[in-house]
Homo-oligomer: A and B are copies of this chain.
Amino acid sequence: MNVKVGISNRHVHLTYEDYKILFGDIPLTKRNDLTQPNTYACNETVTIKGEKRELSNVRVLGPCRTYTQVEVSKTDAYYLGVNPPVRNSGKLDDAYEITIIGPIGEITKKACIIATRHIHVDKNIRREHNLEGIEKVSVKISGEKSGIIENVFLKESDEAYFELHLDTDDGNAFLLNNGDEVEIII
C-alpha cells in the first residue's frame, strides 16, 4: 500500500513555560496549518546554537507540548556541532544539549534529537490498511536514487493524517518531495 511523504525541516516544539522565557507572555501565533490534525507552524522562529555554530529562522510548531524538543537532521547536527541520538518524539532522556534563543530570552537543555522515521496513524487507519499490531515497517522508494528505508515506526495518535514523516536528509537522499507517494512494505 502507498503512503504520502511529508518532509520535516528542522523545527522546535516548546513547553508553554519555555515559550514564555523565549517570547514573553504573549500568545503563540499560527502561520499555517500542518497536515496532522490540530498542529500548525507558527509565525515565531528561534535560533538554535550548538557547540560550533548556530542556525537561525528555525520554525516553532504549535500548539505547545509537555516537552521542549529540537528536531534536526544529521547534516544540521554536523553544522551545529551537536551529536543527537535518533529518538521517537518525547524520548529525551539522552537527547543532546542545545541552546534555543528567542527574542527576549534563551534556554539551554537536553532537547535535541534526530527524529525516528515514522508514519502517522490512528486506529481507523490501522484497520483500513491492515496495520493493526504492527510496530514498524519498511518503505520502498522509486526514482533515480531509489531504495528502501527501514525502521519506520507507526506513530499512533487519537486522530491522524496518514503520512510518512522523513527528515531532510532522507528526503534529499532519495530526491523526495512533499506529497510524493511511496510504498509500505510490511
Contacts and interface: CB of A to CB of B under 8 A. Distances in A.
Interface of A: 73-75, 78, 86, 117, 138, 144-151, 168-170, 172-175
How many copies of this chain does one complex carry?
2
Contact of A173 (B74, B78, B151): B74
A105 to B, nearest CB: 30
A94 to B, nearest CB: 13
Contacts of A170: 145, 173
B74 A175 contact: yes
Contacts of A74: 172-173, 175
Contact of A147 (B147, B169, B172, B175): B147
A99 to B, nearest CB: 22
In the A-B complex, the 5 residue pairs with the closest CB atoms: A173-B173, A74-B172, A169-B173, A147-B149, A148-B148
A173 B149 CA distance: 10
Contacts of A75: 75, 168-169, 172
B148 A86 contact: no
Contact of A73 (B146, B172, B174): B172
Given A145-B117, A145-B149, A78 B138 contact: no
Nearest to A168: B75
A117 B168 CA distance: 18
